[in-house]
Structure 1
Protein backbone atom coordinates (compact mmCIF):
# COMPACT_ATOMS: atom_id res chain seq x y z
CA UNK A 1 0.00 0.00 0.00
CA UNK A 2 3.01 2.31 0.39
CA UNK A 3 3.17 5.09 -2.16
CA UNK A 4 6.84 4.29 -2.78
CA UNK A 5 6.32 0.53 -2.74
CA UNK A 6 5.04 -1.93 -5.33
CA UNK A 7 1.42 -1.19 -4.38
CA UNK A 8 0.40 -4.79 -4.96
CA UNK A 9 -2.75 -4.26 -2.91
CA UNK A 10 -4.87 -7.44 -2.71
CA UNK A 11 -2.51 -9.25 -5.10
CA UNK A 12 0.39 -8.85 -2.67
CA UNK A 13 1.01 -12.18 -0.85
CA UNK A 14 1.37 -10.27 2.43
CA UNK A 15 -2.32 -9.32 2.20
CA UNK A 16 -3.48 -12.95 2.36
CA UNK A 17 -3.76 -13.02 6.16
CA UNK A 18 -5.79 -9.80 6.13
CA UNK A 19 -8.18 -11.12 3.47
CA UNK A 20 -8.50 -14.38 5.41
CA UNK A 21 -9.73 -12.48 8.47
CA UNK A 22 -12.25 -10.60 6.33
CA UNK A 23 -13.44 -13.92 4.94
CA UNK A 24 -14.08 -15.59 8.30
CA UNK A 25 -15.41 -12.53 10.15
CA UNK A 26 -19.02 -12.81 8.86
CA UNK A 27 -19.04 -16.53 9.71
CA UNK A 28 -18.13 -16.14 13.37
CA UNK A 29 -20.83 -17.24 15.81
CA UNK A 30 -20.00 -14.30 18.06
CA UNK A 31 -18.64 -11.13 16.51
CA UNK A 32 -16.18 -8.95 18.44
CA UNK A 33 -17.72 -5.82 19.96
CA UNK A 34 -14.88 -3.58 18.82
CA UNK A 35 -12.28 -3.58 16.06
CA UNK A 36 -9.17 -1.48 15.51
CA UNK A 37 -7.28 -1.48 12.21
CA UNK A 38 -3.99 0.32 11.60
CA UNK A 39 -2.03 0.57 8.37
CA UNK A 40 0.18 2.84 6.29
CA UNK A 41 -1.05 5.91 4.46
CA UNK A 42 -2.17 4.72 1.06
CA UNK A 43 -4.37 1.98 2.48
CA UNK A 44 -7.32 4.40 2.43
CA UNK A 45 -7.35 4.31 -1.39
CA UNK A 46 -6.78 0.56 -1.79
CA UNK A 47 -9.04 -2.29 -2.88
CA UNK A 48 -8.24 -4.04 0.42
CA UNK A 49 -9.75 -1.11 2.30
CA UNK A 50 -12.89 -1.26 0.14
CA UNK A 51 -13.21 -4.96 0.94
CA UNK A 52 -12.78 -4.18 4.64
CA UNK A 53 -15.62 -1.64 4.58
CA UNK A 54 -17.93 -4.02 2.73
CA UNK A 55 -17.26 -6.73 5.30
CA UNK A 56 -17.87 -4.39 8.24
CA UNK A 57 -21.14 -3.18 6.77
CA UNK A 58 -22.26 -6.75 6.12
CA UNK A 59 -21.57 -7.64 9.75
CA UNK A 60 -23.43 -4.58 11.06
CA UNK A 61 -20.44 -2.61 12.35
CA UNK A 62 -20.42 1.16 12.67
CA UNK A 63 -16.98 2.51 11.82
CA UNK A 64 -14.92 5.63 11.34
CA UNK A 65 -11.63 6.11 9.51
CA UNK A 66 -8.75 8.42 10.34
CA UNK A 67 -5.40 9.56 8.98
CA UNK A 68 -3.52 10.63 12.10
CA UNK A 69 0.00 11.38 13.24
CA UNK A 70 1.32 11.13 16.84
CA UNK A 71 1.53 14.94 16.85
CA UNK A 72 -2.29 14.95 17.07
CA UNK A 73 -1.87 13.63 20.63
CA UNK A 74 1.04 15.85 21.61
CA UNK A 75 3.76 13.32 20.75
CA UNK A 76 6.77 14.91 18.96
CA UNK A 77 6.85 12.51 16.03
CA UNK A 78 5.42 12.80 12.53
CA UNK A 79 4.27 9.45 11.18
CA UNK A 80 0.98 9.63 9.30
CA UNK A 81 -0.96 6.36 9.58
CA UNK A 82 -4.38 5.01 8.68
CA UNK A 83 -6.69 4.00 11.53
CA UNK A 84 -10.17 2.52 11.58
CA UNK A 85 -12.27 1.93 14.68
CA UNK A 86 -15.48 -0.08 14.53
CA UNK A 87 -18.10 -1.14 17.06
CA UNK A 88 -20.98 -3.57 16.95
CA UNK A 89 -23.63 -1.16 18.19
CA UNK A 90 -26.49 0.74 16.63
CA UNK A 91 -25.35 4.06 18.07
CA UNK A 92 -23.00 6.10 15.92
CA UNK A 93 -19.71 7.46 17.18
CA UNK A 94 -19.81 10.99 18.55
CA UNK A 95 -17.34 11.90 15.82
CA UNK A 96 -19.04 9.89 13.08
CA UNK A 97 -18.52 11.37 9.61
CA UNK A 98 -19.82 8.88 7.02
CA UNK A 99 -17.64 8.43 3.96
CA UNK A 100 -14.87 10.66 5.29
CA UNK A 101 -11.34 9.80 6.36
CA UNK A 102 -10.90 12.28 9.20
CA UNK A 103 -7.55 13.98 9.70
CA UNK A 104 -8.24 16.30 12.64
CA UNK A 105 -8.86 14.55 15.94
CA UNK A 106 -9.42 17.68 18.05
CA UNK A 107 -12.48 18.85 16.12
CA UNK A 108 -14.07 15.41 15.99
CA UNK A 109 -13.73 13.78 19.38
CA UNK A 110 -16.43 15.04 21.73
CA UNK A 111 -16.89 12.34 24.35
CA UNK A 112 -15.83 12.71 27.97
CA UNK A 113 -12.79 10.45 27.72
CA UNK A 114 -11.41 12.44 24.82
CA UNK A 115 -12.06 15.70 26.66
CA UNK A 116 -9.98 14.45 29.58
CA UNK A 117 -7.17 13.47 27.22
CA UNK A 118 -7.23 16.90 25.59
CA UNK A 119 -7.23 18.59 29.01
CA UNK A 120 -4.23 16.52 30.10
CA UNK A 121 -2.34 17.44 26.94
CA UNK A 122 -3.23 21.10 27.35
CA UNK A 123 -2.18 21.30 31.01
CA UNK A 124 1.04 19.45 30.26
CA UNK A 125 1.80 21.84 27.42
CA UNK A 126 1.30 24.88 29.64
CA UNK A 127 3.99 23.58 31.96
CA UNK A 128 6.42 23.02 29.11
CA UNK A 129 6.74 26.29 27.26
CA UNK A 130 9.35 26.59 24.56
CA UNK A 131 12.72 27.71 25.87
CA UNK A 132 13.34 31.30 24.82
CA UNK A 133 16.96 30.43 24.07
CA UNK A 134 15.99 27.87 21.45
CA UNK A 135 16.58 28.91 17.86
CA UNK A 136 15.17 27.72 14.55
CA UNK A 137 17.03 24.41 14.76
CA UNK A 138 16.32 23.95 18.50
CA UNK A 139 19.92 24.80 19.27
CA UNK A 140 20.93 27.29 21.91
CA UNK A 141 21.54 30.84 20.74
CA UNK A 142 24.84 30.83 22.55
CA UNK A 143 28.01 30.83 20.45
CA UNK A 144 28.96 27.57 18.77
CA UNK A 145 32.13 25.77 19.85
CA UNK A 146 35.12 25.80 17.56
CA UNK A 147 35.59 22.95 15.12
CA UNK A 148 34.27 21.54 11.86
CA UNK A 149 30.52 21.61 11.26
CA UNK A 150 28.32 20.00 8.67
CA UNK A 151 25.51 22.40 7.80
CA UNK A 152 22.32 21.18 6.18
CA UNK A 153 21.05 23.53 3.49
CA UNK A 154 17.31 24.10 3.77
CA UNK A 155 14.75 26.27 2.05
CA UNK A 156 13.05 29.13 3.87
CA UNK A 157 9.81 27.14 3.82
CA UNK A 158 11.47 24.16 5.53
CA UNK A 159 13.00 26.36 8.21
CA UNK A 160 9.69 28.11 8.87
CA UNK A 161 7.88 24.77 9.09
CA UNK A 162 10.34 23.47 11.67
CA UNK A 163 10.21 26.72 13.57
CA UNK A 164 6.40 26.51 13.75
CA UNK A 165 6.59 22.90 14.92
CA UNK A 166 9.09 23.72 17.67
CA UNK A 167 6.89 26.58 18.87
CA UNK A 168 3.74 24.47 19.04
CA UNK A 169 3.27 24.17 22.80
CA UNK A 170 0.58 21.50 22.36
CA UNK A 171 3.39 19.06 21.50
CA UNK A 172 5.86 17.89 24.13
CA UNK A 173 9.61 18.21 23.78
CA UNK A 174 11.74 15.22 22.88
CA UNK A 175 13.56 15.49 26.19
CA UNK A 176 10.34 14.49 27.96
CA UNK A 177 10.76 11.02 26.44
CA UNK A 178 14.50 10.55 26.92
CA UNK A 179 15.84 8.28 29.63
CA UNK A 180 17.79 9.84 32.45
CA UNK A 181 21.28 8.62 33.11
CA UNK A 182 24.94 9.06 32.30
CA UNK A 183 25.16 6.41 29.61
CA UNK A 184 28.05 6.78 27.21
CA UNK A 185 26.45 8.16 24.05
CA UNK A 186 29.43 7.77 21.72
CA UNK A 187 28.37 4.19 20.99
CA UNK A 188 25.35 5.58 19.15
CA UNK A 189 27.25 8.10 17.01
CA UNK A 190 27.05 7.71 13.24
CA UNK A 191 30.40 7.46 11.45
CA UNK A 192 31.42 10.55 9.43
CA UNK A 193 31.04 8.58 6.19
CA UNK A 194 27.35 7.92 6.91
CA UNK A 195 26.75 11.52 7.96
CA UNK A 196 28.25 12.85 4.75
CA UNK A 197 26.21 10.43 2.67
CA UNK A 198 22.83 10.82 4.36
CA UNK A 199 23.01 14.30 5.90
CA UNK A 200 20.34 15.66 3.58
CA UNK A 201 17.95 12.83 4.49
CA UNK A 202 18.44 12.80 8.25
CA UNK A 203 16.16 14.84 10.48
CA UNK A 204 18.64 16.33 12.93
CA UNK A 205 17.00 17.37 16.20
CA UNK A 206 17.91 18.21 19.78
CA UNK A 207 16.21 17.38 23.11
CA UNK A 208 14.39 20.72 23.10
CA UNK A 209 12.77 20.08 19.71
CA UNK A 210 9.11 19.23 19.40
CA UNK A 211 9.47 17.22 16.20
CA UNK A 212 11.01 14.09 14.75
CA UNK A 213 10.33 12.05 11.65
CA UNK A 214 10.40 8.42 10.61
CA UNK A 215 11.68 7.17 7.30
CA UNK A 216 11.89 3.83 5.57
CA UNK A 217 14.11 2.31 2.93
CA UNK A 218 12.64 4.52 0.22
Structure 2
Protein backbone atom coordinates (compact mmCIF):
# COMPACT_ATOMS: atom_id res chain seq x y z
CA UNK A 1 0.00 0.00 0.00
CA UNK A 2 0.99 3.62 -0.43
CA UNK A 3 1.44 5.73 2.68
CA UNK A 4 0.08 9.26 2.62
CA UNK A 5 1.72 11.21 5.41
CA UNK A 6 0.76 14.23 7.48
CA UNK A 7 3.81 15.59 9.30
CA UNK A 8 2.95 17.52 12.47
CA UNK A 9 5.27 19.77 14.50
CA UNK A 10 7.30 19.42 11.33
CA UNK A 11 10.19 21.80 12.07
CA UNK A 12 12.85 21.65 9.37
CA UNK A 13 11.61 18.37 7.90
CA UNK A 14 13.46 15.63 9.78
CA UNK A 15 10.48 13.27 9.61
CA UNK A 16 10.16 13.89 5.88
CA UNK A 17 13.80 12.90 5.36
CA UNK A 18 13.24 9.85 7.60
CA UNK A 19 10.27 8.79 5.48
CA UNK A 20 12.46 9.05 2.39
CA UNK A 21 15.19 7.09 4.17
CA UNK A 22 12.71 4.31 4.96
CA UNK A 23 12.08 3.87 1.23
CA UNK A 24 8.48 2.79 1.71
CA UNK A 25 5.91 3.64 -1.00
CA UNK A 26 4.04 6.90 -0.65
CA UNK A 27 4.71 10.57 0.05
CA UNK A 28 4.35 13.35 2.57
CA UNK A 29 1.15 15.18 1.65
CA UNK A 30 1.37 18.10 4.06
CA UNK A 31 3.39 19.46 6.98
CA UNK A 32 2.31 21.74 9.80
CA UNK A 33 4.27 23.91 12.22
CA UNK A 34 3.75 27.28 13.87
CA UNK A 35 7.38 28.41 13.47
CA UNK A 36 7.58 30.51 10.30
CA UNK A 37 11.39 30.34 10.07
CA UNK A 38 11.39 26.54 10.39
CA UNK A 39 8.67 26.39 7.75
CA UNK A 40 10.87 28.44 5.43
CA UNK A 41 13.64 25.84 5.80
CA UNK A 42 11.14 23.05 5.19
CA UNK A 43 9.73 24.70 2.07
CA UNK A 44 13.25 25.36 0.77
CA UNK A 45 14.03 21.63 0.86
CA UNK A 46 10.58 20.29 -0.06
CA UNK A 47 9.07 22.87 -2.42
CA UNK A 48 6.30 20.53 -3.64
CA UNK A 49 4.98 19.69 -0.16
CA UNK A 50 2.19 21.81 1.28
CA UNK A 51 3.59 23.53 4.38
CA UNK A 52 0.92 24.95 6.68
CA UNK A 53 1.95 27.75 9.01
CA UNK A 54 -0.76 26.97 11.54
CA UNK A 55 -1.25 26.09 15.16
CA UNK A 56 -1.87 22.36 15.58
CA UNK A 57 -5.06 23.21 17.47
CA UNK A 58 -6.55 24.43 14.18
CA UNK A 59 -6.68 20.84 12.92
CA UNK A 60 -10.07 19.17 12.74
CA UNK A 61 -11.11 15.62 11.78
CA UNK A 62 -12.63 17.12 8.62
CA UNK A 63 -9.34 18.73 7.60
CA UNK A 64 -7.44 15.49 8.16
CA UNK A 65 -10.04 13.53 6.18
CA UNK A 66 -9.82 16.04 3.33
CA UNK A 67 -6.05 15.51 3.15
CA UNK A 68 -6.70 11.77 2.67
CA UNK A 69 -3.73 10.74 4.84
CA UNK A 70 -3.26 7.37 6.50
CA UNK A 71 -0.09 8.12 8.49
CA UNK A 72 0.91 10.80 10.99
CA UNK A 73 4.56 11.45 11.84
CA UNK A 74 5.12 13.90 14.67
CA UNK A 75 7.66 15.24 17.13
CA UNK A 76 5.73 17.40 19.65
CA UNK A 77 7.57 19.98 21.80
CA UNK A 78 9.81 18.32 24.36
CA UNK A 79 10.21 21.29 26.72
CA UNK A 80 7.29 20.29 29.00
CA UNK A 81 9.24 17.12 29.87
CA UNK A 82 12.75 18.54 30.40
CA UNK A 83 14.56 20.00 33.39
CA UNK A 84 15.19 23.22 31.46
CA UNK A 85 11.45 23.45 30.76
CA UNK A 86 10.66 22.87 34.46
CA UNK A 87 8.85 19.60 33.64
CA UNK A 88 5.43 21.22 33.77
CA UNK A 89 4.04 18.37 31.68
CA UNK A 90 0.40 18.93 30.68
CA UNK A 91 0.34 22.24 32.59
CA UNK A 92 2.76 23.68 30.03
CA UNK A 93 0.84 25.26 27.15
CA UNK A 94 3.37 23.72 24.77
CA UNK A 95 1.62 20.42 25.58
CA UNK A 96 -1.65 21.73 24.17
CA UNK A 97 -0.92 20.61 20.62
CA UNK A 98 -0.34 16.99 21.60
CA UNK A 99 -3.43 17.01 23.82
CA UNK A 100 -5.42 18.28 20.84
CA UNK A 101 -4.10 15.39 18.71
CA UNK A 102 -5.14 12.99 21.47
CA UNK A 103 -8.68 14.34 21.23
CA UNK A 104 -8.68 14.00 17.43
CA UNK A 105 -7.34 10.47 17.05
CA UNK A 106 -10.54 8.58 17.96
CA UNK A 107 -12.35 10.70 15.35
CA UNK A 108 -9.88 10.09 12.49
CA UNK A 109 -10.63 6.58 11.29
CA UNK A 110 -8.53 6.93 8.13
CA UNK A 111 -5.25 7.35 10.04
CA UNK A 112 -3.85 3.82 10.31
CA UNK A 113 -0.22 4.52 11.30
CA UNK A 114 1.42 6.91 13.77
CA UNK A 115 5.02 7.54 14.77
CA UNK A 116 5.71 9.93 17.63
CA UNK A 117 9.12 11.05 18.92
CA UNK A 118 9.87 12.91 22.11
CA UNK A 119 12.56 13.44 24.71
CA UNK A 120 13.47 10.70 27.20
CA UNK A 121 11.34 11.50 30.21
CA UNK A 122 8.14 11.76 28.21
CA UNK A 123 7.46 8.12 29.13
CA UNK A 124 6.84 9.05 32.78
CA UNK A 125 4.58 12.03 32.07
CA UNK A 126 0.85 12.59 32.26
CA UNK A 127 0.99 13.54 28.57
CA UNK A 128 2.32 10.05 27.83
CA UNK A 129 -0.59 8.47 29.69
CA UNK A 130 -3.07 10.65 27.81
CA UNK A 131 -1.46 9.69 24.50
CA UNK A 132 -1.69 5.96 25.21
CA UNK A 133 -5.30 6.37 26.38
CA UNK A 134 -6.11 8.07 23.07
CA UNK A 135 -4.41 5.27 21.10
CA UNK A 136 -6.35 2.65 23.05
CA UNK A 137 -9.66 4.45 22.52
CA UNK A 138 -8.97 4.81 18.79
CA UNK A 139 -8.19 1.10 18.35
CA UNK A 140 -4.42 1.21 17.83
CA UNK A 141 -1.78 -1.33 18.79
CA UNK A 142 1.52 0.27 19.84
CA UNK A 143 5.13 -0.40 20.69
CA UNK A 144 7.38 1.95 22.65
CA UNK A 145 11.15 2.40 22.49
CA UNK A 146 13.92 4.43 24.05
CA UNK A 147 16.80 4.42 21.58
CA UNK A 148 20.08 6.21 20.95
CA UNK A 149 21.85 6.76 17.59
CA UNK A 150 25.00 5.15 19.01
CA UNK A 151 23.10 1.83 18.95
CA UNK A 152 22.98 2.25 15.16
CA UNK A 153 26.69 3.05 14.82
CA UNK A 154 26.16 6.82 14.61
CA UNK A 155 28.64 8.77 16.80
CA UNK A 156 26.09 10.95 18.56
CA UNK A 157 24.27 10.45 21.85
CA UNK A 158 20.62 11.46 21.54
CA UNK A 159 18.40 9.15 23.60
CA UNK A 160 14.79 9.63 22.65
CA UNK A 161 11.38 8.13 23.29
CA UNK A 162 9.52 6.69 20.28
CA UNK A 163 6.05 5.26 19.93
CA UNK A 164 4.88 3.29 16.90
CA UNK A 165 1.12 2.80 16.63
CA UNK A 166 -0.98 1.11 13.98
CA UNK A 167 -4.37 -0.55 13.56
CA UNK A 168 -2.98 -4.03 13.06
CA UNK A 169 -0.90 -6.34 15.21
CA UNK A 170 2.87 -6.13 15.48
CA UNK A 171 4.96 -9.23 14.99
CA UNK A 172 6.98 -8.66 18.17
CA UNK A 173 6.00 -8.32 21.82
CA UNK A 174 5.31 -5.05 23.58
CA UNK A 175 3.94 -4.46 27.06
CA UNK A 176 7.03 -2.55 28.15
CA UNK A 177 9.34 0.07 26.70
CA UNK A 178 11.95 -1.59 24.50
CA UNK A 179 15.60 -0.50 24.63
CA UNK A 180 16.53 -1.98 21.26
CA UNK A 181 14.81 -2.80 18.01
CA UNK A 182 13.81 -6.45 17.40
CA UNK A 183 16.61 -8.56 15.99
CA UNK A 184 14.77 -9.18 12.71
CA UNK A 185 14.83 -5.44 12.00
CA UNK A 186 18.47 -4.74 12.83
CA UNK A 187 19.40 -3.95 9.27
CA UNK A 188 20.13 -0.30 9.91
CA UNK A 189 23.41 -0.41 11.86
CA UNK A 190 26.25 1.63 10.33
CA UNK A 191 29.58 -0.04 11.05
CA UNK A 192 32.74 1.81 12.02
CA UNK A 193 31.61 5.43 11.74
CA UNK A 194 33.89 7.95 13.43
CA UNK A 195 33.75 11.72 13.73
CA UNK A 196 36.32 11.94 10.93
CA UNK A 197 33.70 10.57 8.50
CA UNK A 198 31.49 13.61 9.09
CA UNK A 199 33.88 16.57 9.23
CA UNK A 200 34.10 19.38 6.71
CA UNK A 201 37.49 20.19 5.11
CA UNK A 202 39.54 22.68 7.13
CA UNK A 203 39.25 25.32 4.40
CA UNK A 204 35.47 25.42 4.93
CA UNK A 205 35.75 26.17 8.65
CA UNK A 206 35.23 29.87 9.29
CA UNK A 207 36.96 31.82 12.10
CA UNK A 208 33.63 32.16 13.93
CA UNK A 209 33.73 28.42 14.69
CA UNK A 210 36.82 28.63 16.91
CA UNK A 211 36.34 29.13 20.63
CA UNK A 212 36.89 32.71 21.79
CA UNK A 213 39.72 33.37 24.25
CA UNK A 214 37.27 34.11 27.06
CA UNK A 215 35.58 30.72 26.66
CA UNK A 216 38.94 28.95 26.46
CA UNK A 217 40.14 30.60 29.66
CA UNK A 218 37.01 30.22 31.76
CA UNK A 219 34.91 27.33 30.46
CA UNK A 220 37.13 24.80 28.69
CA UNK A 221 37.16 22.36 31.66
CA UNK A 222 33.38 22.06 31.47
CA UNK A 223 33.32 21.01 27.84
CA UNK A 224 33.06 17.60 26.20
CA UNK A 225 35.97 17.62 23.76
CA UNK A 226 36.28 14.95 21.06
CA UNK A 227 38.85 14.13 18.39
CA UNK A 228 38.53 12.73 14.89
CA UNK A 229 38.73 9.10 16.03
CA UNK A 230 35.89 9.47 18.54
CA UNK A 231 32.76 7.34 18.12
CA UNK A 232 30.50 9.42 20.34
CA UNK A 233 29.49 13.04 20.79
CA UNK A 234 27.12 14.66 23.26
CA UNK A 235 23.55 15.46 22.36
CA UNK A 236 23.51 18.79 20.55
CA UNK A 237 20.79 21.09 21.89
CA UNK A 238 19.29 24.30 20.59
CA UNK A 239 21.56 26.23 23.00
CA UNK A 240 24.78 24.98 21.35
CA UNK A 241 27.41 27.76 21.08
CA UNK A 242 25.23 29.92 23.35
CA UNK A 243 25.96 28.00 26.57
CA UNK A 244 29.24 26.19 27.16
CA UNK A 245 28.16 23.27 29.32
CA UNK A 246 25.94 20.35 28.37
CA UNK A 247 24.82 21.60 24.97
CA UNK A 248 27.05 19.58 22.65
CA UNK A 249 30.64 18.49 22.02
CA UNK A 250 33.64 20.55 20.95
CA UNK A 251 36.06 19.33 18.27
CA UNK A 252 39.86 19.18 18.57
CA UNK A 253 41.86 18.40 15.37
CA UNK A 254 44.78 16.92 17.37
CA UNK A 255 44.82 13.22 18.13
CA UNK A 256 43.80 12.27 21.65
CA UNK A 257 47.36 11.66 22.88
CA UNK A 258 48.52 15.07 21.68
CA UNK A 259 45.46 16.74 23.19
CA UNK A 260 45.99 15.05 26.57
CA UNK A 261 49.62 16.21 26.65
CA UNK A 262 48.58 19.83 26.11
CA UNK A 263 45.91 19.65 28.79
CA UNK A 264 48.42 18.14 31.24
CA UNK A 265 50.76 21.09 30.63
CA UNK A 266 47.89 23.53 31.16
CA UNK A 267 47.05 21.81 34.44
CA UNK A 268 50.66 22.02 35.61
CA UNK A 269 50.73 25.74 34.89
CA UNK A 270 47.53 26.25 36.85
CA UNK A 271 48.96 24.43 39.85
CA UNK A 272 52.15 26.47 39.72
CA UNK A 273 50.23 29.73 39.23
CA UNK A 274 52.15 30.60 36.07
CA UNK A 275 50.95 33.40 33.82
CA UNK A 276 47.48 33.18 32.37
CA UNK A 277 48.85 34.28 28.99
CA UNK A 278 50.97 31.14 28.71
CA UNK A 279 48.03 28.92 29.65
CA UNK A 280 45.91 30.64 27.02
CA UNK A 281 48.54 30.11 24.32
CA UNK A 282 48.63 26.41 25.14
CA UNK A 283 44.83 26.20 24.97
CA UNK A 284 44.81 28.06 21.66
CA UNK A 285 47.27 25.49 20.26
CA UNK A 286 44.48 22.91 20.61
CA UNK A 287 42.49 24.74 17.89
CA UNK A 288 39.24 23.87 19.63
CA UNK A 289 36.13 24.68 17.64
CA UNK A 290 32.40 24.23 17.52
CA UNK A 291 30.94 21.71 15.11
CA UNK A 292 29.41 23.51 12.15
CA UNK A 293 25.68 23.26 11.40
CA UNK A 294 26.51 21.04 8.43
CA UNK A 295 28.51 18.66 10.61
CA UNK A 296 25.75 18.48 13.21
CA UNK A 297 23.23 17.83 10.42
CA UNK A 298 25.43 14.92 9.31
CA UNK A 299 25.62 13.59 12.88
CA UNK A 300 21.82 13.66 12.87
CA UNK A 301 21.81 11.76 9.54
CA UNK A 302 20.44 14.57 7.38
CA UNK A 303 21.59 14.04 3.79
CA UNK A 304 24.07 16.44 2.19
CA UNK A 305 21.26 17.63 -0.06
CA UNK A 306 19.66 19.28 2.99
CA UNK A 307 20.19 23.04 2.91
CA UNK A 308 19.33 26.11 4.93
CA UNK A 309 18.08 29.16 3.02
CA UNK A 310 20.74 31.85 2.74
CA UNK A 311 18.86 34.13 5.13
CA UNK A 312 18.97 31.58 7.99
CA UNK A 313 21.41 32.72 10.67
CA UNK A 314 23.88 30.39 12.35
CA UNK A 315 22.04 30.86 15.64
CA UNK A 316 18.80 29.73 13.96
CA UNK A 317 20.55 26.75 12.35
CA UNK A 318 21.80 25.48 15.70
CA UNK A 319 18.36 25.98 17.29
CA UNK A 320 16.55 24.14 14.49
CA UNK A 321 18.97 21.21 14.52
CA UNK A 322 18.84 21.01 18.32
CA UNK A 323 15.06 20.64 18.08
CA UNK A 324 15.12 18.06 15.30
CA UNK A 325 15.43 14.26 15.12
CA UNK A 326 17.97 11.67 14.04
CA UNK A 327 16.84 10.86 10.52
CA UNK A 328 18.43 7.40 10.33
CA UNK A 329 16.93 6.13 13.59
CA UNK A 330 13.44 7.33 12.68
CA UNK A 331 13.82 5.91 9.17
CA UNK A 332 14.47 2.45 10.63
CA UNK A 333 11.43 2.83 12.89
CA UNK A 334 9.22 3.84 9.95
CA UNK A 335 10.27 0.64 8.18
CA UNK A 336 9.21 -1.33 11.25
CA UNK A 337 5.92 0.59 11.48
CA UNK A 338 5.12 -0.17 7.85
CA UNK A 339 6.24 -3.81 7.88
- Calculate the TM-score normalised by the size of structure 2: 0.44
5 Å-filtered alignment, 1:33-44, equals: 33-44=112-123
5 Å-filtered alignment, 1:1-218, equals: 1-30=81-110, 32-89=111-168, 91-94=169-172, 96-98=173-175, 100-105=176-181, 108-110=182-184, 114-118=185-189, 121=190, 124-125=191-192, 172-180=193-201, 182-214=203-235, 216=237
User: Higher helix fraction: Structure 1 or Structure 2?
Assistant: 2
- The count of residues paired between Structure 1 and Structure 2 equals 159
Q: Which whole-Å CA distance do the structure 2 matches of 1:77 and 1:174 have between them?
A: 9
Report the CA distance between 1:33 and its aligned residue: 1.9
Structure 2 spans left out of the alignment, 5+ residues: 1-80, 240-245, 247-339
Q: Which whole-Å CA distance do the structure 2 matches of 1:34 and 1:43 have between them?
A: 20
Structure 1 spans left out of the alignment, 5+ residues: 126-171
RMSD (Å), alpha carbons: 2.0
Query: Given that residues 3 and 42 in structure 1 are in contact (C-alpha distance below 8 angstroms), is that contact kept between their aligned partners in structure 2?
Result: no
| CA spacing shift, 1:26–1:212, aligned 2, 3 Å | same
Which stretches of structure 1, 4 residues or longer, exceed 6 Å deviation after superposition? none
- Calculate the TM-score normalised by the size of structure 1: 0.66
Q: Which whole-Å CA distance do the structure 1 matches of 2:141 and 2:124 have between them?
A: 19
SS in 1 for 2:86: coil
Report the CA distance between 1:24 and its aligned residue: 1.1
| CA spacing shift, 1:5–1:197, aligned 2, 3 Å | farther
Query: Given that residues 76 and 212 in structure 1 are in contact (C-alpha distance below 8 angstroms), is that contact kept between their aligned partners in structure 2?
Result: yes
